[in-house]
Structure 1
Amino acid sequence: MDTRIQVFETEKIKNEIGEEKEVNTVLCIPWAKVVEIAGGEETEGKILHRIQRNFIIRWRGEINQKSNQLKLDYQGRIYFVSHVKQIGRREFLELQTFVNE
């Protein structure tokens, strides 16, 4: 685990006049091991470059519970968490992520 990532969730809050605003709340800034999974292009009306990466971090209860509601920042790029898989008995978590460009 040699890379720092930032794991956060996006919450919608209302201001004084009732407008909803999205606010990112940082849950943790763990060390992670980055595993390259795949990269490719998809066409859905336009060409999208899709990158899939897995990040292995030490086990954290709040990350395990919130699972696919999370996002993470790695090298200035925001990845969406699609699945969280537990490795071992509360030892590590594997965050399976993707980003479309």
Structure 2
Amino acid sequence: MVGPYIGSLNRKIKILQIVKERDSTGSEKSVRKVFCEPWSSIVSESGGKEIDMATMELSSRSYVIRWRKEIEEDGVKMILDDSGVLYRIDYISFIGRRRFLQLSCSNYEQ
């Protein structure tokens, strides 16, 4: 069996790592580097959140990608880039035995 998501993984995303680098002066800074560019599918999406009768822009999404050991282990330290919009990976759940990962994300705020 190939899985329920084959064929629906039609959205290219980027998974970014935050790494520490030293610049020419020796100072350390955090830099985002592309870890991988998997195909994904959006499985759920929600929009604004009402706080004290005002709607705040807050977006959360869940993406499904093929299983990768590094993302399973360190994914919550990574950032998801979907067409230039950045999301923090909040939670990772398994679908099948090492077949797919569901990444629950929310807006990334620097």
Aligned to 1:26: 34
CA contact under 8 A between 2:86 and 2:108: conserved in structure 1? no
Runs of 4 or more off by more than 4 Å in structure 1?
none
Q: Mind listing any 5+ residue stretches in structure 2 that lack a counterpart? A: 1-8
Aligned length: 100
Q: Mind listing any 5+ residue stretches in structure 1 that lack a counterpart? A: none
> Is 1:78–2:86 an aligned residue pair?
yes
Q: Percent identity?
A: 33
Structure with max Cα Rg: 2
Letter aligned with residue 11 of structure 1: V
TM-score by length of 1: 0.85
CA deviations 1:62-94 (Å, max 9, x no partner) are 110102101011021011100111111000000
Q: How big is the shift at 1:100?
A: 5.8
> Is 1:97–2:108 an aligned residue pair?
no
RMSD between aligned residues: 2.2
- Quickly say closer, same or farther: Cα 1:67–1:100, change in 2 above 3 A: closer
TM-score by length of 2: 0.79
Which deviates more from structure 2 when the two are superposed, residues 46-55 or residues 1-10?
A: 46-55
